[in-house]
Every structure is written in C-alpha cells, then in structure tokens.
Amino acid sequence: MVLHLVPRCSARLFWASPGWRRTYTQGTSVGLTSLGCPRHRHSPMARRGYSSASGSPEVMLTPERYPVQRLPFSTVSEEDLAAFERIVPGRVVTDPEQLEAYNVDWLRSVRGCSKVLLRPQTSEEVSQILRHCYKRNLAVNPQGGNTGLVGGSVPVFDEVILSTALMNQVISFHDVSGILVCQAGCVLEDLNAYVQERDFVMPLDLGAKGSCHIGGNVATNAGGLRFLRYGSLRGTVLGLEVVLADGTILNCLTSLRKDNTGYDLKQLFIGSEGTLGVITAVSILCPPRPKAVNVAFLGCPGFAEVLQTFSTCKGMLGEILSAFEFMDSECMQLVRQHLHLTNPVQESPFYVLVETSGSSAAHDAEKLTSVLEQMLNSGLVSDGTMATDQRKIQTLWALRERITEALSRDGCVFKYDISLPVERLYDLVIDVRARLGPRAKHVVGYGHLGDGNLHLNVTAEAFSQELLGALEPYVYSWTAEQRGSVSAEHGLGFKKKNVLGYSKPPEAMKLMQQLKVLLDPKGILNPYKTLPARA
Ligand SMILES: Cc1cc2nc3c(=O)[nH]c(=O)nc-3n(C[C@H](O)[C@H](O)[C@H](O)COP(=O)(O)OP(=O)(O)OC[C@H]3O[C@@H](n4cnc5c(N)ncnc54)[C@H](O)[C@@H]3O)c2cc1C
C-alpha cells in the first residue's frame, strides 16, 4: 500500500480537442464586457456531431418514442417570421440544417421539429419576442447551452427556440464583494476565467462548463462539483432579471446579501426549467479564489470504506474539504475504454476523489497527506495518489468529470439522478444490477457523495421499451421508499415530468400547477416539461 504523491498517469490535458461550442459573431454593447470568445476550449464534449455524416444514428422524433400530444398552439407563419426579423434582424434561423443541432439534446435521446430559432441579444428583444408569441399563442422553448440531461432544452414539437447564446455580456463585477452581474447566455467556463483573473471563482462547476450557460444553470438549479463547499444556487444567486410569458420584464436583479422585503420571487425561477419565465440576467456571489487546491484520488475496497473515508475526511479536513466524489469500478472501465484515460491507482471496487481548497498550500498538503496516510494504514483506502499542481489536478478530475461523456459513447443511456440517505446510496445500484442481469450492458454508480447524490446510469446497445419497463417505476418507487428525491440536480424536463409525484405530495403539485397558470396563463413557456400534464 503506497501513497503516491504524484500521479502515475500521463499529465496530458484531456480537453485539448476542439469543443463543439457554437461560436457566433459577438454582439457588442457599450459598457459591457463581451465573453464567449473561443479562448477556453476545454469542453469535454467534442463528441457532438449532429449530421448523419458523423456516423451517429438519426435521433427519433420525440412524439414517436413517447406518448405525447401536441397542444393547440398556433404554428409559425410567414407573418410571424417577418415580425421576428423586425425584432432580431439577421438573427432568425430557419435553415433546417442549422436548426438540427438545436432540436436534438446532448444525449441524442429526444428530438423536436422546430422551424425557427431566435437569437436575441438584449432583454428588451426577449420581451418583444415573448409579447409577440403570447399574443399569437406560439409555444416557446428557452435554450441555453443545450447540455441538459432530461430533455428540457429542446422542443418536443415545433416550439420556437429562444436561444440565449448571444446574451453573453458581463454587466458588472465588484472586486470587494465578489458580486458578478451578467447576461444569462454567458458560458460558465468563460465566467470562471473572468472572475479568476480577479481572484475569485464561480460558486459552481460542472463537467458541461465549456458549453452550459449561467442562465441554464440557474434555470436547472444545477448542483455540480463545488456544491459541498459553496452550497446551492438558491443561496449564491442574489438577483435575477426574468422576462415573463406575456413579455413583462421583471427586474429583481439586486446585488444584496440581505433583503427581506416581501416574497423572494427569484426563488420561483431558480430550478423552474424555463416554464415560468426566461432568465435574461443573473447577479451571483462569487467566493474568493482559494490560494491552495489539492486533489487526492483513492481506491477503496468497498462502499462501507467509501463512507468511512468520507466521515474521516469531514472530521479531519474540516473547512478545507471542498469536494468528495465517488465512482465505481465500472465507471473506471468506461473512461478507460472510451476516452483512453489512465487509472492512476491500483484496480479497486470503488474510487474517491477528495479535493481541499484553503489558504496555505504547505499546510493543506501536509494535512491531506497525514489523513491519507492514516486511511491507508487503517485499510480504508487501498491505494492513492495526490496532486498539487493544476495540470495534474485536472488530470485527476477528468476521471470523474468525463464519466457522463464515456457513458454516452457506450450506447443508449438510461440516466437517474437521485438524492438518497448517504448510507443507502449504493444499494440502489446493486439492486438494479441484479434486477437487470445481462439485459444491461453496464449498470454504474457515481456521484457527489458529499451531497448524497447518486448518478445511476444503465447502458444498452439500443433503446428498449422492455428495459425501460424494468427500470421504471422500480427506481422511482425504491427512491420514494427511502424518502429520496427522483431528481437531485438535473431537473425533470420532458423525460421525468411524470415522476414528480414520487417526491412531492399532491398539495405541492397542485400549487405548482396554480403558479404556472398564474405566471403563464396560456402555457406557452416550455410546454410538456417539468409538470405532469393536467388531467
Ligand atoms: C458532461 C455533462 C456533465 C454535467 N454535469 C452536471 C452536474 O454535475 N450537475 C448538474 O446539475 N448538471 C450537470 N449536467 C447537466 C447540465 O449541464 C445542467 O443542467 C446545466 O445547468 C444546463 O445548462 P444549459 O445552459 O446547457 O441549459 P439547457 O440545457 O439549454 O437548458 C436546460 C433547461 O433550462 C431551461 N433554460 C435554459 N436557459 C434558460 C433561461 N435563460 N431562462 C429560462 N430557462 C432556461 C431550458 O428550457 C431547459 O429546460 C451535466 C451535463 C453534461 C452534458
């Protein structure tokens, strides 16, 4: 049992391949800082190729796979297109080839048939678009980076796609408070680079950072890799500007830490997945950039040891513990097979990634080393490696961050994003593996253990109704029995909207429906998503 203080794996960067992030001619507006230039091409999503030339099979139209009926919205007419052209001149896309990428989700699991994509640059333009759509009864699908994993980001039928990609300006940054105000279409990775130059970090980080937008993050209440340290967006988002379904601009874009005047309306829109309004700008509190970051990657002999490792780290590392992630051996097998990443430690049934963020490099490294040595000696950990420099840290993080990408290369993926009491977290994976037997190609478990969040993923050669039937509602009932949540951080979107009842009582669901009617009486915003269809 050896603790390697440098990783054995190659130190090359894994994200060197060109990202698929779309680039547009940047809009400029006086006094704002434009982001989104292709400075940072660290996207792990180079896989994305929509054309059939990429060799990937055609994605089935959503209504062909799922039982869903088009609601009686209007269809886009020539007059509508002319009106849109007046509102966003030169930024109305109707070319079917260009539209393809916006009609299909990242997982290539759902596909709409929208005929038009609009690319506003300002909140006023969003307001005019929605005013027109509301009057004409046209359904609208707000879209950020289109990295959502529950089919919420693309149309189900022919909804108008409203993309925030050109709303990518920083409005202000205050270098004493760390409060950033920006437009909703800023890419998370660009924002992080922007605030890092000023000695701050974004309070959230996720594998999709090279493509997802801050507006999309807020709309999904994204969790991610820094949740353990900085908590939920419900705490760090200080204000929002939102355009309502009828075009009203609701300006709650305050930058106050404390504000107890009336109801906290921004909370309604955080996690509402584009069903209550279009988020156009965000005010968010950024924490100071930690001076020292260390990462350890460890092998554990069993899940009981993973849990004990977590308790030990919490107890001994205290306030410098900033992430605690776990993955099972099948995840490791997939990142090796599909992405050619190297396992830096000896083969183990489980792996954990421990990150510390503090103010003293030497002190933090010493503290982490002594915790790791203790865990090695007590048998909680069978092997480990530690990194203190940025390049090696990224190499270790890639093993965990790129699991989603490796899974998507393994075939058709059935994804479950579950909150559970931490001690039961892996039992669900074991049960599902036994239940499916050889019908599944892989059944894997990984996730944000520190937040009690399991990502259970099942892969198969192709979509199969029979496999889906074996998984659902089994996974949801199992979760409900533990009083868990059937969506910890990805939201409900289109694919999970009918399982809301497993995690919320009928009274709460009724109130949600009433709020939807109040804010969007015609139901034009992201229909068929988040809430179950009304009887
Ligand atoms: C590789 C990978 C790793 C991921 N890791 C994580 C993770 O660790 N944690 C996590 O929580 N998620 C994760 N995700 C899921 C996804 O990245 C997040 O849900 C992200 O917040 C979506 O942002 P987006 O800009 O891509 O939004 P989109 O995918 O475009 O949209 C998501 C939803 O938000 C709505 N929406 C988007 N923008 C707006 C807006 N401005 N106003 C109103 N509604 C809007 C859409 O209508 C849709 O319902 C991951 C995805 C991938 C592909």
C-alpha of residue 143 to centroid of ligand 1, in Å: 9
Q: Can you give the pLDDT at residue 35? A: 60
Q: For residue 491, which atom of ligand 1 is closest to its CA? A: 19
Residues 192 and 107 in one domain: no
- Give the ipTM of the model, two decimals please: 1.00
CATH code of the domain in which 140 resides: 3.30.43.10
CATH code of the domain in which 314 resides: 3.30.70.2190
Confidence of residue 34 (pLDDT cuts 50, 70, 90): low
C-alpha of residue 180 to centroid of ligand 1, in Å: 20
CATH code of the domain in which 178 resides: 3.30.465.10
C-beta 7 within 6 A of ligand 1: no
pLDDT at 224 over 50: yes
Strands 160-163 and 237-243: unpaired
C-beta 447 within 6 A of ligand 1: no
Mean pLDDT (whole number) for 194-200:
98
C-alpha of residue 222 to centroid of ligand 1, in Å: 7
- Strand, coil or helix: 237: strand
226 domain-assigned: yes
221 domain-assigned: yes
Q: Is there a contact between 282 and 533 (Cβ–Cβ < 8 Å)?
A: no
C-beta 417 within 6 A of ligand 1: no
C-alpha of residue 312 to centroid of ligand 1, in Å: 33
Residues 314 and 236 in one domain: no
Q: Is there a contact between 207 and 489 (Cβ–Cβ < 8 Å)?
A: no
Strands (E) in 288-349, as ranges, are: 292-300, 321-328
Q: Can you give the pLDDT at residue 358? A: 93
Residues 208 and 256 in one domain: yes
294 domain-assigned: yes
Give the end of a domain, one of 118, 139, 163: 163
Residues 260 and 194 in one domain: yes
Share of the chain above pLDDT 70, in %: 89
Q: Which of 147, 160, 324 gets mutated to test ligand 1 (max ligand atoms within 8 A of its CB)?
A: 147
C-alpha of residue 303 to centroid of ligand 1, in Å: 30
Residues 309 and 390 in one domain: yes
428 domain-assigned: yes
C-alpha of residue 149 to centroid of ligand 1, in Å: 7
Confidence of residue 58 (pLDDT cuts 50, 70, 90): confident
Mean pLDDT (whole number) for 202-213:
96
Distance CA 10, CA 81 (A): 53
C-alpha of residue 370 to centroid of ligand 1, in Å: 38
Name the residue among 413, 226, 392, 394 with its Cα closest to residue 334: 413
Residue nearest atom 48 of ligand 1, based on CA coordinates: 153
Q: Can you give the pLDDT at residue 495? A: 96
20 domain-assigned: no
C-beta 143 within 6 A of ligand 1: yes
Residue 436's φ and ψ, nearest 5 degrees, are -85, -30
Give the end of a domain, one of 163, 197, 224: 163
Give the end of a domain, one of 268, 285, 302: 285
Tally of domains within the chain: 4
Tokens of 346: 């000896």
Residues 384 and 320 in one domain: yes
147 domain-assigned: yes
Q: For residue 273, which atom of ligand 1 is closest to its CA? A: 49
C-beta 273 within 6 A of ligand 1: yes
Residues 206 and 270 in one domain: yes
68 domain-assigned: yes
**Cβ contacts of residue 54 below 8 Å, gap of 6+?**
none
Residues 279 and 299 in one domain: no
42 domain-assigned: no
Residues pairing with 3 in the sheet = 384
Residue nearest atom 52 of ligand 1, based on CA coordinates: 208
- Strand, coil or helix: 274: coil
Residues 197 and 267 in one domain: yes
Residue 316's φ and ψ, nearest 5 degrees, are -95, -25
Q: For residue 153, which atom of ligand 1 is closest to its CA? A: 48
C-alpha of residue 103 to centroid of ligand 1, in Å: 15
Task: Give pLDDT tens digits for 169-193.
Answer: 999 999 999 999 999 999 999 999 9
CATH code of the domain in which 466 resides: 3.30.70.2740
Parent domain of 122:
58-163
Host H or E run for residue 375? helix 361-378
C-beta 151 within 6 A of ligand 1: no
Pick the most confident of 24-28, 48-52, 284-288. 284-288
Q: Which residue has the tokens 């005019």?
A: 128
The contacts found for 314-317 with CB under 8 angstroms, 24 or more apart, are 316/367, 316/370, 316/371, 316/374, 317/354, 317/356, 317/367, 317/368, 317/371
Q: Can you give the pLDDT at residue 535? A: 52
Task: Give pLDDT tens digits for 311-330.
Answer: 999 999 999 999 999 999 99
pLDDT at 450 over 70: yes
Residues 153 and 197 in one domain: no
Q: Can you give the pLDDT at residue 55? A: 40
Residues 294 and 280 in one domain: no
